[in-house]
Copies of this chain bind each other. A is one copy, B any other.
Amino acid sequence: MPVNHRLLLMARPEGMPGPEHFTADAEAARSPREGEVLLATVYLSIDPAMRSWMSEGTSYQQHIPLGEVMRGGGIARVLESRAEGFVAGDWVQARLGWQTHPTIHARYLQKLDLGLGTVEDWIGPLGLSAVTAYFGLRDIGGLRPNDRVLVSAAAGGVGQIAVQIARFEGCRVAGIAGGAAKCAFVAGELGADAVIDYKAEPNLSAAIGRACPDGVDVYFDNVGGATLDAALEHLRHGARVVLCGRISQTHAAEPYGIRNLGRLAAARGRMQGFLVFNYHDRYDEARTWLAARRRDGSLRQRLHVLEGLTQAPIGLGMLFRGENAGKLVVRVKAV
Q: Report which A residues bind B (CB closer than 8 A).
A: 58-60, 224, 228, 243, 246, 249, 254-275, 278
Report A261 CB to chain B, min CB distance, Å. Answer: 6
Complex: how many Å from CA A59 to CA B237? 12
A52, closest chain B residue (CB): B266
Complex: how many Å from CA A58 to CA B192? 30
A246 neighbours in B (Cβ, 8 Å) = 261-262, 265
Partner of A258, one of B58, B261, B273: B261
Complex: how many Å from CA A272 to CA B267? 9
How many chain copies? Answer: 2
Q: A258-B258, A261-B228, A261-B243 are in contact. Are A273 and B269 (CB under 8 A)?
A: yes
Supplied contacts A254-B259, A266-B273, 4 more A-B pairs, CB within 8 Å: A257-B257, A258-B261, A261-B271, A264-B271
A60 neighbours in B (Cβ, 8 Å) = 266, 268
Report A124 CB to chain B, min CB distance, Å. Answer: 25
A262 neighbours in B (Cβ, 8 Å) = 224, 246, 249, 255
A228, closest chain B residue (CB): B261
Contact B268 A270 (CB under 8 A): no
Most buried by B among A58, A257, A278: A257
Complex: how many Å from CA A267 to CA B273? 7
